[in-house]
Amino acid sequence: MRTALARGASLTGALGDADTGVGAAGLLRLDTEVRAQLRGGGPVLQPLLEDPLVTDVLVNGTDGVWVDRGAGLERVDVTDATFDDAAAVRSLAARLAAACGQRLDDASPVVDGSLPDGTRLHAVLPPLSATGTLISLRTHRTRVLTLDQLVACGTVPGALAPVLGALVDRRANVLVSGATGSGKTTLLAALLSLVGHGERIVCIEESAELRPTHPHVVHLQVRRANVQQVGEVPLSDLVRAAMRMRPDRIVLGECRGPEVRDVLGALNTGHDGGWATVHANTSADVPARLVALGALAGLAEATMTAQAVSALDAVLHLRRAETGLRRLVEVGVLDRRGPELVCETALSVGTDGAVRHGAGWPRLAARLGLSEGARPGPSDGARLGLSEGARPGPSDGARLRPSEGVRPGPSDGARLGLSESVRPGPSDGARFRPSEGVAGPAPGAGEAVGDRGSAAQLPGDAEPAAQPRPAVFVAGGRGRHAAGLA
């Protein structure tokens, strides 16, 4: 059989030519097992890695094999003797590392890499691991979910889909945050698939995981140091290299070290439309995480705050529920609060699925070209933070119109839908305020009116109105996304 393989015969052909005496069924079994061994997973792990429901496969020495099928970890009954022998488990880990083009031994007891099919490997040998050889495998799916599919499966609320489309069309710089396994890569790949086909996307990752459906994507991967601790090419070097590759979109798969300085520098020097991910438990933790990463790059907190606020237009935060469902739960914007970097909520998703406005919504709406409008009509309630059944009252007039004698500043113009160069005159006050004779909403009727963090429902979550809600197309976009909110 070795001679046949050396001549270039296929594995199946070599097995067929060999005088094994096992018959056709036996040859098929041998073919499957040998291919599994060559791929690294072996006859036990390879079928698990090929299961479309499995996202993670974990081997805890001789203590068992665990998998995650989207609803939490579950133990797998394994009868193979390999997992009863510590030496055999170590040999399996070394074979997986070799399939990644790396070595795993006493001189190099920890390894990170990617198998030929894109599966991500992390392995640790004793004595660093007190429980035997540890193998962690994160499966890679070649099928990329679309934004519509993420809406259908509940990951993205339908009301937020137009906002996500606007972030892509308006070339916003966006940070996607969440804990491990919360769906950051899945969401990012879906959104990058919306990028125009005339643009070039440069993805920078430790191991290639992002596979957006797009005709012009190139990937850069880090190179780790060898056993002599030379030859390393870190993410920082790759970010600088990407800037010389005529990128339309620079995408950093995961920001976890001093490369944050380089990626923010790129986004602050004309490379709009960039994306990155970062690990954080909540959106409120993102500022502290960025400041800590900036410290690794030698940036003072004040410098990091200024860089982040200037470079990043939005933060998308995902959370994984106890049921295993991954959901986009918040859209935020970074801002300064005194000397501190903070993340203000622009849109949040409640446990009931309703989408609510937050203090950061006016700023995000202005960045995306979603006008907040002028005179509210029956269908504009949600757009201005009013509940569907509420009619603005006298107190709302003060909120919607300039104070008597006070001239609005530039930020007020964006909030009121005015051009920067236009100064409202006396007649504009009536145009922006409801009639004083209109009664306000009764106590308990609908949501709070226009306060910071009001709970107005966005289109897609609200009950159908008597009149159709007009679509607002994003100004300056490519016309693919119609935002149903403003």
**Calpha distance 31→18 (Å, rounded):** 12
pLDDT at 324 over 50: yes
Q: What is the mean pLDDT of residues 99-116?
A: 88
Gap between the Cα atoms of 364 and 345, Å rounded: 10
- Rounded to the nearest angstrom, the gap between the alpha carbon of residue 213 and the centroid of all alpha carbons in its chain is 16
Angstrom distances, CA of residue 249 to CA of 169, 189, 202, 267, 340 = 12, 13, 6, 10, 29
**Separation between Cα atoms, residue 288 and residue 51, nearest integer Å:** 38
Phi-psi category of residue 72: left, alpha or beta, with phi > 0 → left and psi -120 to 50 → alpha: left
- For 9-20, how does the pLDDT look when each residue is reduced to its tens digit (9 = 90+)? 555 555 555 555
pLDDT above 70: residue 131: yes
Q: What is the pTM of this model?
A: 0.67
Decide if pLDDT at 270 tops 90.
no
Q: Which whole-number Å values give the CA distances from 289 to 256, 332, 399, in the listed order?
A: 9, 15, 36
More confident residue, 270 or 330: 330
What tokens appear for 194 in the block?
């919306």
CB atoms near residue 148 (< 10 Å): 12
pLDDT digits (tens, 9 = 90+) for 428-462: 444 434 444 434 444 443 333 333 333 334 444 44
Kind and range of the H or E element at 6?
helix 2-6
Mean pLDDT for 161-184 is 95
What domains does the chain contain, in order, with CATH numbers? Answer: 1-39 (no CATH), 51-138 (3.30.450.370), 147-367 (3.40.50.300)
Residue 66: count other Cβ atoms within 10 Å of its Cβ.
16
Position 481 pLDDT exceeds 50: no
**Interatomic CA distance for residues 220 and 203, integer angstroms:** 6
Question: What mean pLDDT value characterizes the chain?
Answer: 76
- Cα-Cα end-to-end distance for the chain: 68
